[in-house]
Chains A and B, each alone.
Chain A
Amino acid sequence: MAITLSGDHAIASPPLSARLTTPQVWGIVLLAPYLLVFLAFVVYPVGYGLWLARHPASYVALYHDPIFARAAVNTLIFLLVGINVKMAIALFLSGFFAQQRTWIKWLSVLFILPWAVPSIPTILSVRFMLNPEWGVINQLIFKLTAEDGPNWLNDPTVALGMAIGVHIWKSLPFWTLILMTGRLAISHDLYEAAEVDGASWSQKFRYITWPSMQTLYITCTLLSMIWTLGDFNSVYLLTGGGPADLTHVLATLGIRYLRLDQLSLAMASIVCALPLVLPLVYFMMKRLSR
Chain B
Amino acid sequence: MKLPTLREVGTEAKLLLIGIPVFIWTMVPIYHMFLFAISPKEDAFSGKLWPDHPTLNNFSIVFNQQHYFLRDFWIQFWNSVVIAVSAGALTLLIATAAAFAISRLRVPGGRWVMNLALFTYFIPAAFLAVPMYRTMGNYGLLNNHWSLILAMVTIASPYAIWVLKQASDKLPVELDEAATMDGATTLQLFRLVYVPLMMPSLVAIGTYAILLAWNEYLYAFLLLSKDTEITLPVALGNFLAADDSPWELLMTTGFIYALPPAAIYYAFKRYMVGGLTAGAVKS
Instruction: Tell me whether A30 and B97 are in contact (CB under 8 A).
Output: yes
- A210 at the B interface (CB under 8 A): no
Give the residue of A103, A117, A139, A250 whose beta carbon is less than 8 angstroms from that of B30: A117
Could you list 13 further interchain pairs (A-B, Cβ under 8 angstroms) beyond the known A48-B134, A117-B262, A273-B127? A1-B112, A22-B186, A27-B105, A27-B108, A28-B107, A41-B154, A49-B134, A96-B18, A112-B265, A116-B265, A119-B217, A125-B36, A267-B131
- A202 at the B interface (CB under 8 A): no
* B52-60, B65-73, B113-121, B196-204 - the one binding chain A: B113-121
Provide the bound-state CA to CA distance between A23 and B185, in Å.
9
- B33 at the A interface (CB under 8 A): yes
Instruction: Tell me whether B258 and A37 are in contact (CB under 8 A).
Output: no
A sample of 9 cross-chain residue pairs with beta-carbon separation below 8 angstroms, ordered by A number, consists of A27-B105, A34-B94, A34-B113, A37-B153, A116-B211, A116-B265, A117-B215, A118-B215, A121-B251
A44 to chain B, nearest CB (A): 6
**B93 CB contacts on chain A under 8 angstroms:** 33
Interface residues, chain A, with chain B CB atoms under 8 Å away: 1, 4-5, 20, 22-24, 26-28, 30-31, 33-35, 37-38, 40-42, 44-46, 48-49, 52, 93, 96, 99, 101, 103-104, 107, 109-114, 116-126, 128-129, 134, 136, 139-140, 143, 169, 173-174, 177-178, 181-182, 185, 215-216, 219-220, 223, 226-227, 229-233, 236-237, 240, 250-252, 254-255, 258, 263, 266-267, 270, 273, 277, 280-281, 284-285, 287-290
What total of A-B pairs shows CB separation below 8 Å? 283
Interface size class of B (residues with CB under 8 A): 35 or more
1/0 per position for B158-194, CB-CB distance to A under 8 A?
0001100000000000000000000000110010000
Instruction: Tell me whether B112 and A44 are in contact (CB under 8 A).
Output: no
**B19 CB contacts on chain A under 8 angstroms:** 96, 103-104, 107
Instruction: Tell me whether B15 and A99 are in contact (CB under 8 A).
Output: yes
B48 to chain A, nearest CB (A): 9
